[in-house]
Amino acid sequence: MTSPIVRRTSNQSGQSKKPERANSLLLASRRFAAWAAEITLVVTSGLIPFGIGVYANSRSDLNRVPLNPVLVVTERAIARPLALPVSYGIRNVAWPTNILWTIALLAPVTLSWWQLYLLAKTGSTIPKRWLKVRVVNEQGKPPGLGAVVIREGIGRWTVPISIAYLLWRYSFAFPNLGLFTFLSLLMIVGEGIGLPSRRGRRALHDQLAGTYTIDTLLASNKQAQSAGGNDEAEEWQEGNEELAAGEISQSPNLWRRIQQNPNLTLFGVGLTSMTAVLATLIGTQVYIQIQQSQRATKQINSQQFLELVKQLSPNSGVTNEQRQSAILAMGGLNDPQSIKFLADLLVSETNPSLLDTIQQALTTVGPQAIPELKNKNQFLVSELESVGSTATKERELRQGRLQRNQRTINKILSVYSGKIEGLDLSSTQLGQSGTPGSSFFNLVLDNLDLSGVKFKSANLNQASFKGSRFRGAGEDGRWDTYDDVMADLSQAQLQQANLTDANLSRVLMNRTDLSRATLNRANLSNARLYDAKLNSTQLVGADLRNAVLEKASLTGADLGDAKLNEANLYAARLGRATAIGTQLSFANLANTDWQGADLSGAYLDRANLSNANLSATRLAGAVLRSAQMENVNLQNADLSLADLRGANVAGADFKGAILAPSKQDPADQFVQTPDLGSVSAVVQGVDFSQAKNLDAKQLAYICTQGGIHPRCP
């Protein structure tokens, strides 16, 4: 007689609770391990080529090219939401770095989509397959691409990270990235733990996508245990399918709920449609009223403008005071026609009292008058250049017109300091011009906020910007975030300009001419000065940390006590520069030319001096600990009391270099030498085996002071 198919009692089900709990804990741990492995694979695929690219970029023997535009756009897109500082100049990198960083960008994206594809088609990624975890839909089949995108893209990542971002963005800790990372991990883990449901706990991403995470290891174990009897195996399989179908059917997804409640769905759609139509009607009406008001205002201004033009005509017969009143009234119109008329009148008028009134009217208009004044400025410059040197009177007349235009721009910038963000003065002539003996215009903008002004290719020669700020904190009021407002001084002419104590941090100054300018104590940290001219420039005490001075010319510049830590001076020209006590720790000085420079007491520890030209330089008391000095030219250099411990001098040329300490000149006592403890510590442990052109005297000194060389006894 056959026995019943189902022989389960309440006691048996109660006894099975503990194994079920153990299995659920085992499944949760394997799910977490699979997720961690997936993230590790994605992150590693990007970090490895990125790290190799960083190493390649540090090499001095590789050609440098502009950064890939795709990488530039990606960098800015990431920097904005994370409040990271953005540099809008495209930097140069080693050519392999461009390729490697592009791979670092594409590899994680490709690997992520490959894992999503496997999850959609098979229900398991590679780590999930290793750990016997599978994702299925309500029918027990692979979920498909749409469900996987909802599960991973929306549920697992978008929702928790969005919540973490909002909490971080509007908290006191913004823009602390460490807190944002902590909140993101907390939200992701919390979402993965799951929310209570009728049959236990399911993660939010599974509930949104209508998917289930099952334990394939448990199923294979049960099948192996029931392999002794075919009837019992078939019975277990049928019961397991019925149980799974019952559990899944108890958790309907959103689409099923919509199908079960059509009336409620129809009501929601109708209410949403009515709200959208009403909002559109109200918005349209408001827009029409605004347009009508603007047209009416424009018509009134046009009528007033025509009346004022009649009063200012030569044949109007009005008094000088009435003309002044009409000019001031025209400035108050703030109309494009009136601005253009005043800009033209500033050039053509000769009455001094009326000229002052015109300047006052244009100043009242404010920054809105700058575009018209800029156009007139460029026209007057071209006119002045077309006049021959023999036509002295005509040249003085046109120069006077240009100077009136320049003074008006100067006054507007001074009055509206801090309110001129985005103002475009590119290619404007605001520096000194004219023939010798004539009056010159001096731009004076001291202690002003000029952040965000575009001075690209402008002539600012001999201008004064003492204590002025070319960078602002932006709308969030925090420094070093994505919305920092920075001026553009690239390719500008700033010869002999005074920028003492100016804030030029992160400002774009590529190919800017700062020859003989004064930048003492100026803040140039993170500034971009690619191929800039700083010949004979005063940079005493300036902050140039992390600045980009690649291929810049600093011949004869004074860098005394300046901070150039971690600055990039690749292939810069610094011949005869004065860098006494300058901080150059960790700086990139590869391929630089320092011939004849004075680096006494400079800090060059861990700097990259590969292939640099330091011939005839003075390095007395310089700190060169752990510096990279491969193939450096040290011919006739003075290295007395220099600290070379840990330096790599392979291929360095020491022909005529002074290594032995000499008696200090009393005139040089102001140079602070580092405390070395004893002279023998200068070259102790330094490997000179691959150094070039070492003479007998140098070798004797190296061997007696603890240096390493094959010829040492």
User: Each residue of 336-350: pLDDT tens digit?
Assistant: 888 999 999 998 888
Q: List pLDDT tens digits, range 107-138.
A: 999 999 999 999 999 999 999 899 888 999 88
What is the pLDDT averaged over residues 164-172?
88
Q: How many Cβ atoms from other residues are within 10 Å of residue 189's Cβ?
A: 12
What is the pLDDT averaged over residues 148-163?
91
Local confidence band at 255 (pLDDT 50, 70, 90 cut-offs): low
Q: Distance of CA 321 to CAs 94, 136, 302, 309, 333, Å?
A: 67, 88, 23, 15, 19
Q: Is the pLDDT of residue 51 over 90?
A: yes
In a domain, 435, yes or no: no
Q: Is the pLDDT of residue 359 over 50?
A: yes
- pLDDT, residue 5, reads 41
Q: List pLDDT tens digits, range 655-688.
A: 999 987 655 454 544 444 444 334 444 898 999 9
Nearest to 183 by CA among 195, 194, 171: 171
Q: Is the pLDDT of residue 15 over 70?
A: no
Q: Is the pLDDT of residue 7 over 50?
A: no
Please, how many CA atoms are within 13 Å of residue 274, restricted to the half-sphere of its CB?
Answer: 6
Report the distance separating Cα 339 and Cα 332, nearest Å.
10
Report the distance separating Cα 513 and Cα 472, nearest Å.
23
Q: How far apart are the first and last CA of the chain?
A: 102
In a domain, 660, yes or no: yes
| Domain finish residue from 194, 224, 253 | 253
What is the pLDDT averaged over residues 457-473?
95
Q: Quick check: helix, strand or coil at residue 680?
A: helix
CA dihedral over 630, 633, 636, 641, signed as positive or negative: negative
Side chain identity, residue 18: K
Reported pTM: 0.79
Which residues have CB under 8 Å from 125's CB, separation 6+? Answer: 34, 38, 115, 118, 119
The strand pair at 485-486 and 471-472 is best described as antiparallel
Q: Distance of CA 141 to CAs 35, 86, 138, Å?
A: 21, 47, 7
In a domain, 470, yes or no: no
CATH number, domain containing residue 578: 2.160.20.80
Partners of residue 362 on adjacent β-strands = none
Report the distance separating Cα 240 and Cα 654, nearest Å.
83
Q: Distance of CA 532 to CAs 511, 555, 565, 617, 642, Å?
A: 4, 11, 19, 23, 31
- pLDDT, residue 226, reads 55
Residue span of the structural domain in which 699 resides: 554-713
In a domain, 457, yes or no: no
Cβ-contact 144, 120 below 8 angstroms: yes
- pLDDT, residue 22, reads 55
Cβ-contact 430, 411 below 8 angstroms: no
Local confidence band at 562 (pLDDT 50, 70, 90 cut-offs): very high
In a domain, 263, yes or no: no
Run of H or E residues at 472? strand 471-472
| Domain finish residue from 253, 270, 301 | 253
Local confidence band at 358 (pLDDT 50, 70, 90 cut-offs): very high
In a domain, 560, yes or no: yes
In a domain, 498, yes or no: no
In a domain, 354, yes or no: no
Backbone phi and psi for residue 364, each to the nearest 5 degrees, phi listed first? -65, -40
Specify the higher pLDDT residue, 214 or 455. 455
- How many domains is the chain built from? 2
| Domain finish residue from 229, 253, 277 | 253
Q: Is the pLDDT of residue 19 over 90?
A: no
Q: Is the pLDDT of residue 552 over 90?
A: yes
Q: How many Cβ atoms from other residues are within 10 Å of residue 332's Cβ?
A: 12
Q: Is the pLDDT of residue 437 over 80?
A: no
Q: How many Cβ atoms from other residues are within 10 Å of residue 208's Cβ?
A: 17
Report the distance separating Cα 520 and Cα 296, nearest Å.
54
